[in-house]
Homo-oligomer: A and B are copies of this chain.
Amino acid sequence: MNQKIARFFEERRPQTPCLVLDLDIVEQNYNALETALPDARIFYAVKANPAAEVLSLLTRLGSAFDTASVPEIQMVLATGCPAERISYGNTIKKEADIRRAYELGVRLFAFDSEPELEKIARAAPGARVFCRILTSGEGAEWPLSRKFGCDLDMARELLLKAKDMNVQPYGVSFHVGSQQKDLKQWDLAISQVAQLFRELEAVGVELGMINLGGGFPTRYRSDVPASAAYGQSIFDSLRRHFGNRIPETIVEPGRGMVGSAGVIESEVVLVSRKSANDSKRWVYLDIGKFGGLAETMDEAIQYPIEVLAEEMGEESFDPETEAVVLAGPTCDSADVLYEKAEYKMPLALKAGDRVRIHATGAYTTTYSAVCFNGFAPLQQYCI
């Protein structure tokens, strides 16, 4: 357990539920990624956690930013970050938003279709564009649909077309899936991109950039490869497929940058059984799927959850645990966190006890509903 965060909870005793984010961990994660991938430019995926303190820290450390919308671009600019460090990485943009981003100085845009490329050419003349390709996403914990990217043939055709439009065909991006633990997935995608680079070069389009996306995992309930292993594996792939001509490389960590830096504290609201001989207890927390834990959808992301033993009283504390169903506090039957995942909690657990939900720095605060069931959005403290 992070001592700085534990101390904050003990001294401040903030109202639950709340997320406490340790900025030192974010800085460590940034440095570890930079060390692991010394030749890659880091574009932090703002959507993972857009807290002003996080953005300011990363601006100071020299990070660039991957943004999904004009408000995210404005949040990054507000930290003093120059616009040339910002990528508008969403492949789904209104033309008016592209224009606004261009006015704000952004010159790097993603696309994966002809209509989007045309919008960028009209609204952001001269900008650099990169095309996102489809990858399988196998091995990722958070499901990757076919929502983003196009196939390699279409990517080739569009990047060739871009040459004759008012934009600069600049590179290719892919995403192996968030929380991707299979290192071979990067190699497969990198080999496809290298092939695409060669084919385009043969017809006069010289690309300069490969965007490896995110996917760098956070440790939840099971171990994940370390940043260094990722870096080595990715570098080996780049060398193997691009030889001595490795292009400029971009990575877009979100979860890998902030996930491990956050801890949510939550109060147990109720512990009950549905019948006298029910084999599983139900444990209801004051945070659920609509209060920030949306990534528990289909039990995809399984956060480590710690029951605060000291809260339960030294003497009465019974170390025996039993599997529980974990659910949120709303009147919505879909607001169940974990039913199959077999979380175990002490038999002595009762209403008023507290739990800490670890590795919750990414994709929590902004997912939280604006006021579902009258509950306020998740509060965050950056320390």
Segment 101-156 of A: residues with Cβ below 8 Å from B: 112-116, 119, 134, 137, 142-151, 153-154
Residue A63 interfacial (CB < 8 Å): no
Find out whether the CB atom of A271 lies under 8 angstroms from the CB atom of B336.
no
Closest Cβ–Cβ distance, residue A60 to chain B (whole Å): 21
Q: Which of A91, A92, A267 has the most CB of B within 10 A?
A: A92
Residue A3 interfacial (CB < 8 Å): no
Chain A contact residues: helix, strand, loop or mixed: loop
Bound-state CA distance A35–B370 (Å) is: 35
Find out whether the CB atom of A334 lies under 8 angstroms from the CB atom of B375.
no
Closest Cβ–Cβ distance, residue A136 to chain B (whole Å): 12
Find out whether the CB atom of A375 lies under 8 angstroms from the CB atom of B148.
no
Find out whether the CB atom of A92 lies under 8 angstroms from the CB atom of B269.
yes
Known: A115-B271, A272-B116, A351-B95. A374 touches B68 (CB 8 A): yes
Find out whether the CB atom of B373 lies under 8 angstroms from the CB atom of A47.
yes
Q: Mark A267-282, 1 if CB is under 8 A from B, else 0.
A: 1011111111000001
Closest Cβ–Cβ distance, residue A80 to chain B (whole Å): 18
Find out whether the CB atom of B374 lies under 8 angstroms from the CB atom of A367.
no
Interface size on A, residues (CB 8 A): 82
Known: A154-B276, A275-B154, A369-B369. A147 touches B374 (CB 8 A): no
Find out whether the CB atom of A142 lies under 8 angstroms from the CB atom of B274.
no
Bound-state CA distance A286–B134 (Å) is: 22
Residue A335 interfacial (CB < 8 Å): yes
Find out whether the CB atom of B94 lies under 8 angstroms from the CB atom of A374.
no
Q: Which of A68, A137, A153, A376 has the most CB of B within 10 A?
A: A68
Known: A68-B330, A92-B269, A270-B113. A369 touches B368 (CB 8 A): yes
Find out whether the CB atom of B374 lies under 8 angstroms from the CB atom of A145.
no
Closest Cβ–Cβ distance, residue A75 to chain B (whole Å): 7
Bound-state CA distance A142–B332 (Å) is: 10
Find out whether the CB atom of B336 lies under 8 angstroms from the CB atom of A147.
yes
Find out whether the CB atom of A113 lies under 8 angstroms from the CB atom of B273.
yes
Closest Cβ–Cβ distance, residue A364 to chain B (whole Å): 11
Q: Mark A359-370, 1 if CB is under 8 A from B, else 0.
A: 000000111111
Residue A211 interfacial (CB < 8 Å): no
Which residues of A are at the interface with B, using a C-beta cutoff of 8 A? Answer: 45-47, 50, 67-72, 75, 89-95, 112-116, 119, 134, 137, 142-151, 153-154, 157, 177-178, 267, 269-276, 282, 284, 286, 290, 294, 297, 327, 329-336, 339, 350-352, 365-377
